[in-house]
Structure 1
Amino acid sequence: MRSSHRGRRRGSGVIGILGELLLTCGALLLLFLIWQLWWTDAVADREQDGILAGLEQEWGQVDARTIAPRQEGPPPVPATPADTKVWGTMHVPAFDRPEFPLAEGVSLEQVLNVKGVGHYPGTALPGELGNVAIAGHRNTYGRVFEDIARLEAGDPVVVETAETFFVYEVTETLIVQPGDVEVIAPTPGQPGVEPTEQMLTLTACHPMFSARERIIVHAEFAYWTKRSEGNPEALADEVATSPETTEEN
């Protein structure tokens, strides 16, 4: 009988230890999820807001009361940026968060996790023939492309540099495998074919909270405007809701 009691006590002790381990693992998992799904966003949002404020201070404010006229002729092409350097701002009016920094490179640690979206090195720059390819997170680290599946044909995607707004319009959305790199070729989907158009491609993981596939959005160049002359038509909503416009009304 004593042996039987000791066996039951040992069994209870093992179950208790396992229970404590499971509770500890559950708590650690919860803390990891909070860090991954909330804290990384909070930190990235703060960093990106600081970057945007710094760019505005460096470049000067855009006259938010004015719609800039479309320019004739080929757009100016920005100089090739240094690796990891923030060289532009992206505006996607269809997104809940419509503005975020654009940096050179697609390194997770140096660009995508800390600065916003990243330009694939070796792909075209805004204003060039070819394909301006840009990657961003769909969840965590600021979730800049969280709303990418919301984009429809004709929606504007705008790249802002120190002197120019480049306006592209969405043409199609695709779901592809991670290895289908031809989507960022100079002529999207046709590697080795010389480009004849000015394109832009956005890439992000798909579906949400998974890296199983990629969601791809292609857009074609529509027009360009001078930053010194105000916002482009594509950002008219920003003009309508700007503090200066509101105060005057």
Structure 2
Amino acid sequence: MPAAPVAAAGAGSGKRRRKRPFEGFSVIGAFGEILLTAGVLMLLYLVWQLWYNDMVERGQQDGAAASLSQQWDKDAKENPAPAFEGAAPVIPTPVDGETFANLRIPRFGESYGAPLAGGVSKAKTLDKAGIGHYSDTQLPGQPGNFALAGHRNTHGAPLNQVANLRVGDAIVIETPEGWFTYRYRNSEYVPPTAVDVLNAVPREDSVAATQSVITLTSCNPIMSTAERIIAYGLFESFTPRADGAPKSLNPVEG
């Protein structure tokens, strides 16, 4: 005798219960999902802005500096400069946003290069060229303070590694005329109001300069403007372009 069929669920119970339109919906749960999605999107943006985009712009600045070097080499061969004698040449004062040199720091990597332009405005210089020159400070090789500024994050982050400098590291300014080599001495951390780091003799008022100093300024800590990191170096020598790149540009070890 065949088995009796199994009764369907709910059979004999009358009409089925209709599910209410918002049954199972949780406002808190939905809000949590929105926050989670927003967090993921923010994380992706930060990865793009602070890593990928910086990496792309860092490569672009390295390439721009290399192109300038090649152009200056070509110009020097086509129009040889007079034999170099005596003190370092005086570099013409650049206008705001005008690229006039490259910053090269072997400690930051063999291919590292950052175009250097006049002024320190974000729109014309720091966000575009890479490194900016405080227009009211001296120029390379001159007695006094040759002061520069650059980002530690975003826009290629050309001074991202400034805290890694070691005593004696070369800080080289490449110009069409040749290379100005400075040697790193020390760093300090100051509030944003400490504008005396730009004095002819940094941190000293009304003192006549007898040495040529380079000053690198950037924000500290990374991703913050709470204070400034200041790195100083002393001028060592000038190498004319006709003599070829100086040994100070050799890769560093350790």
TM-score range, shorter chain: 0.7 to 0.9
Q: Deviations over 1:70-103 (max 9, x none)?
A: x763210110112101110111111135322111
Q: Deviations over 1:172-191 (max 9, x none)?
A: 11111111111111110013
> Quick one: structure 1 residues 154 and 122, their matched pair in 2 at CA, closer, same or farther if it must change by over 3 Å?
same
Structural mapping, 1:1-249, within 5 Å:
12-60=25-73, 73-96=86-109, 98-237=112-251
Q: Distance in 1 between matches of 2:28 and 2:136?
A: 58
Report if aligned partners of 2:169, 2:183 keep a CA contact under 8 Å in 1. yes
> Quick one: structure 1 residues 157 and 180, their matched pair in 2 at CA, closer, same or farther if it must change by over 3 Å?
same
> Quick one: structure 1 residues 202 and 195, their matched pair in 2 at CA, closer, same or farther if it must change by over 3 Å?
same
Q: Distance in 2 between matches of 1:110 and 1:39?
A: 23
Q: Distance in 2 between matches of 1:61 and 1:116?
A: 23
Aligned AA (1:229): D
Q: Deviations over 1:147-203 (max 9, x none)?
A: 111112221111010012111111211111111111111110013322221111011
Report if aligned partners of 1:103, 1:117 keep a CA contact under 8 Å in 2. yes
Q: Distance in 2 between matches of 1:206 and 1:87?
A: 27
Q: Distance in 1 between matches of 2:165 and 2:186?
A: 9
RMSD: 2.5
Aligned AA (1:236): N
- Structure label with greater radius of gyration: 2
> Quick one: structure 1 residues 128 and 52, their matched pair in 2 at CA, closer, same or farther if it must change by over 3 Å?
same
**Can you give the 5+ residue segments of structure 1 that lack an aligned partner in the other structure?**
1-5, 64-70, 239-249
Greater percentage in helix: 1
Q: Deviations over 1:116-148 (max 9, x none)?
A: 111111110002111000111112221211211
Q: With the length of structure 2 as denominator, give the TM-score of the two structures.
A: 0.79
Q: CA deviation at 1:237?
A: 3.7
Q: Distance in 1 between matches of 2:37 and 2:206?
A: 54
Report if aligned partners of 1:206, 1:215 keep a CA contact under 8 Å in 2. yes
Q: CA deviation at 1:13?
A: 3.3
Q: Distance in 2 between matches of 1:62 and 1:221?
A: 26
Percent identity between matched residues is 42
- Number of residue-to-residue matches in the alignment: 225
**Can you give the 5+ residue segments of structure 2 that lack an aligned partner in the other structure?**
1-19, 77-83
